[in-house]
């Protein structure tokens, strides 16, 4: 009997209200890091009709024009007038930012050479060999569909598109292997004067068939394009947005596991972010070395403590090397303290606004250091020693 199952992942466009907030929070982080690489930033953003609220704790020597950063980011996203439901020029921007608590600061700033974890928590990294990016296929395709929709909108190829949108992909597996794409769901915000039939035709022709390999589509693949029939009202006018509310989109689409904290708006002393990045680097290099087909890495930290409390590795039975040897190699090759991760992945650079859309992982063209395959040969040697 064949073991058949389906797995679904979703993504969103950069104009989705939650993603607006992620981008604003990371734009503020980048602005702080450009002037002061040692900035401590924990910036949350919330939005609703005509309003942006900044919340959080920031300790920095940088001089930040919050109003300008917020409005510039919203403009770049595409909310340029009220016809989109939000206008970067006229929205109100409320700022409720204070400095980092001294109780937290004393646990992070242990010494010049030791940085304690900025919080307790669990972080996961995951990789699988079913795509070239070592990402699960469902989230890889969902992110690429969202990116293609944005590309067509920003290049004015489909001039009726507005910034808000969602994608979703269901993959059919048989005996653990990808068989086909079962379902594609796309919802795009649009002008009122365009027909559903045109939107459906364009999304299939210019998005789905340009992104998803034809070998994975068949006559039974189901397409749900704007399934409610209308998506004119979108963005913060239709739905409130909040930083960190799309952590499954940001990570592995529900595959592997998801940690306890979001990424955006946090500097790298917050192990929610840096720990997840290094865990992905470890998992990806393990799978790329071919000592396992899938790999999940969990790290856990305690606030004010530099070394991780625990390191866990699971290869789901696909490992060709004893799992304890893999863990020992991780501990031998990686400095998993916050400062060690920051230095290795160069996380004091202002690179984070780019991470806030289309996922933090699997995007090799962005030159994110956590996607580098610079430890593959070290893990591959474990097979030689077997």
- What residues are labeled active site? 16, 18-19, 44, 57, 166, 231, 239-240, 245-246, 266, 270, 272
Distance CA 241, CA 206 (A): 28
* H or E, element range at 77: helix 66-77
Q: How far apart are CA 22 and CA 3, in angstroms?
A: 39
Q: CA 312, CA 320: separation in Å to the nearest integer?
A: 17
Pairing of strands 86-87, 40-48: unpaired
The whole-angstrom separation of Cα 214 and Cα 345 is 37
Are the beta carbons of 7 and 175 closer than 8 angstroms? Answer: no
169 DSSP β-pair partners: 9, 184
Contact 11, 167 (CB under 8 A): yes
CB 368 within 8 Å of CB 273:
no
Q: What CA–CA distances, in Å, run from 286 to 10, 310, 314?
A: 26, 18, 11
Beta bridge partners of 53: 46, 94
What is the per-residue DSSP string for 105-170? HHHHBS-SS-B--SS-EEEEEEEETTSTTSS-HHHHHHHHHHHHHHHHHHTTSSTTEEEEEEEEEE
Whole-angstrom distance, CA of residue 338 vs CA of residue 299: 12
CB count within 10 Å of CB 102 equals: 9
Count the residues in the chain.
386
CA distance 291 to 322: 10
């Amino acid at each position: 009997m064949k073991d058949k199952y389906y797995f679904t992942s979703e993504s969103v466009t950069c104009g989705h209200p939650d993603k607006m907030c992620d981008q604003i929070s990371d734009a503020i982080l980048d602005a702080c890091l450009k002037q002061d690489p040692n900035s401590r930033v924990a910036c949350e953003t919330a939005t609703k009709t005509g309003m942006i609220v900044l919340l959080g704790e920031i300790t920095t020597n940088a001089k930040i024009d919050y109003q300008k950063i917020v409005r510039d980011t919203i403009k770049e996203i595409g909310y340029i007038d009220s016809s989109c439901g939000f206008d970067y020029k006229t929205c109100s921007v409320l700022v409720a930012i204070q400095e980092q608590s001294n109780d937290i600061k004393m646990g992070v700033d242990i010494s010049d050479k030791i940085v304690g974890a900025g919080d307790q928590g669990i972080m996961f990294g995951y990789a699988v060999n079913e795509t070239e990016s070592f990402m699960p296929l469902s989230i890889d395709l969902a992110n690429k569909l969202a990116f293609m929709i944005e590309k067509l909108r920003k290049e004015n190829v489909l001039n009726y598109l507005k910034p808000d949108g969602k994608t979703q992909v269901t993959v059919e597996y048989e005996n653990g292997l990808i068989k086909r794409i079962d379902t594609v769901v796309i919802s795009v915000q649009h002008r009122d004067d365009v027909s559903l039939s045109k939107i459906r035709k364009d999304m299939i022709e210019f998005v789905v068939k340009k992104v998803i390999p034809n070998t994975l589509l068949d006559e039974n693949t189901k397409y749900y394009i704007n399934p409610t029939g209308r998506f004119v009202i979108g963005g913060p006018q239709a739905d409130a947005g909040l930083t960190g509310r799309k952590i499954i989109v940001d990570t592995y689409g529900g595959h592997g596991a998801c940690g306890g904290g979001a990424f955006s708006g946090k500097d790298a002393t917050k192990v929610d972010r840096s720990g997840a990045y290094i865990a992905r680097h470890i998992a990806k290099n393990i799978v790329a070395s071919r000592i396992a087909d899938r790999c999940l890495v969990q790290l856990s930290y305690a606030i004010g403590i530099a070394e991780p409390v625990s390191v866990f590795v699971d290869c789901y039975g696909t490992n060709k090397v004893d799992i304890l040897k893999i863990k020992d190699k991780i501990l031998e090759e990686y400095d998993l303290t916050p400062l060690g991760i920051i230095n290795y992945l160069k996380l004091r650079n202002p690179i984070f606004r780019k991470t806030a859309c289309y996922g933090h992982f699997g995007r090799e063209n962005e030159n994110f250091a956590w996607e580098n395959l610079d430890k593959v040969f070290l893990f591959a040697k474990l097979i030689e020693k077997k």
